[in-house]
Amino acid sequence: MSLKHALLGFLNFSPFTGYDLKKLFDTSMQYFWSATHTQIYRTLNQMHEEGLVRREIVEQTDHPDKKVYTITEEGEQVLRDWLKHHYDLPPIRHRLLVQLSFANLLEDDEIIALLADYGDKLRERLVQYHSDEATALYERARSERERFLWDLTLKNGIATYEAELNWIEQAIEDFKNLQEKEP
């Protein structure tokens, strides 16, 4: 599971509550790993049992009490070991490709609609990746080295989405040519 290690990664910066961590996921990690608050609270409890984090309950008068988690030495070791691990390529689960495999059942305009809509969504996503919000994230980097690494994660998204966009634009064009050839 990577969720555990991603949480350790954040906690290695500074102590956080589950609520803080959820927000960190939704901002800096949203594009390549997501998690619901349910999942985060559950995992933090597990990690506490495993001794990877310490828990401190902070009473508050104006808000509900909060539980602040701090990484332990054991947690740091687990994080370091995990960071070095060489994983296989991530499994792909690409619904559109499954649809295309069987799309011979559809009408021409339905196929084009499927492709065009996907293209629109890719363009929207690319706008997000190029937005100020996205690039603002690595202003908090503590060194050029860290900034470089964070930049890599963004660039990966841009590279793959641009490749898919080229693919889909070519696909639409080729499909239209095929239509003309065989009316």
- Residues 120 to 179 in contact with a copy of itself, rule: CB under 8 A: 121-122, 125, 142-146, 148-150, 152-153, 155-157, 159-160, 162-164, 166-167, 171, 174-175, 178
Q: Tell whether residue 18 is a contact of DNA (CB under 7 A).
A: yes
CB of 64 to DNA, least distance (A): 5
Closest to 160 in 3D by CA, of 130, 131, 122, 128: 122
| Helix, strand or coil, per DSSP, at residue 88 | coil
Query: Which parts of 34-72 fold into alpha helices (H)?
Result: 37-49
Q: Tell whether residue 81 is a contact of a copy of itself (CB under 8 A).
A: no
Q: Tell whether residue 38 is a contact of a copy of itself (CB under 8 A).
A: no
Which residues are CB-neighbours of 12 under 8 A, at least 6 positions away?
A: 71, 75, 76, 79
Beta-bridged to residue 92, according to DSSP, are: none
Q: Tell whether residue 113 is a contact of a copy of itself (CB under 8 A).
A: yes
Which residues are CB-neighbours of 1 under 8 A, at least 6 positions away?
A: 43
82, 112, 129, 169: residue in contact with a copy of itself (rule CB under 8 A): 82
Which parts of 63-82 interact with DNA (CB under 7 A)? 63-68
Tokens of 117: 């809509």
Comparing CB distances to a copy of itself, the nearer of 58 and 98 is 98
How many residues belong to the site for DNA (CB under 7 A)? 28
Residue 39's identity, in one-letter code, is: Q
180 binds, among DNA, a copy of itself, none (CB under 5 to 8 A by kind): none
